[in-house]
Structure 1
Amino acid sequence: MSKPLKIILIVLVSFTMLGSGCYFCGKIALEKMESGIMETKEKVNADVKAWNKQGHTQSETLTEAFRRVKVCSSDFDLPCIIEHKSFLNLSLKNAKPSPNFCKNVPAPLEFTKSISWRTSRCGQLAPDHPMICDKLIDEVQNFCQNKNEQKKK
């Protein structure tokens, strides 16, 4: 066998082994993440069911979501934030209506109004955690926009 052919074979075998190793490591990591996501989903569904059984209003649900999100370790603790964002989303749908809950809530695509409204609400709800607040408060905007679209139908 010629020297260039040996080098090509060594490189191909090396890349094949490296690719296989990456594939199996990625597969194991995804399986662990999937089980964690499923556990979180089950926990959120149980929390929402228990919360909604108590007959809370939309305003109380918003306050509760912000109370819960304070346990997140930082503004970048995405699994924690997503968990509480899901809680807020699912709980608002089944909460008792609060008077004026969606009053003056701009649609998410009304950028100028949204920035002003979000800044104001986050100053009231979570002045110490503006980044977390911004991630949660969009659930209120989406909820109110969907509610307004359903009224128009």
Structure 2
Amino acid sequence: MANIFALVRDSLTNMVASLGTSRDKAAANVYSMPMLTDEELLNAYRGAWLPKKVVDIPAFDSIRAWRDWQAKKPQIEAIEAEEKRLNVMGKLLETRIKARLWGGAAMVIGTGDQDLTAPLDVERIGKGGLKYLTVMTRRHLTAGE
């Protein structure tokens, strides 16, 4: 008796074409996420203009306005000189682009200390204490403590 009620419902059902039944060919169609390998992502980014624009334009727009410092003129000049020396804006743009392309990136702050696994102690860093900035993609990093 349950099968009769299943066939009598307010929907399009065609027993000859199997529309609306479990054998409906249209019911097997689903949208799936195309998973690209790292090599395919790199080839798309390097080889076609549209994927490159999809990655680059939002990354560039996020840093285009940059920032305004609220301090005295000598302090602002010193900060901007340090930013220029370390190429902070260029490194940040590179980080954003790689994060969009590879699905994650980070900027490693180098102070000259040997142990990069230890937390960065901001109080210990003096003037000129930052030695370098390095961009690492998710392929080079591992999540952990």
When normalised by structure 2's length, the TM-score is 0.25
Greater helix proportion: 1
Q: Return the index of the structure with the highest Cα Rg.
A: 2
- Structure scoring higher RCO (CA < 8 A, sep ≥ 6) equals 1
When normalised by structure 1's length, the TM-score is 0.24
Greater strand proportion: 2
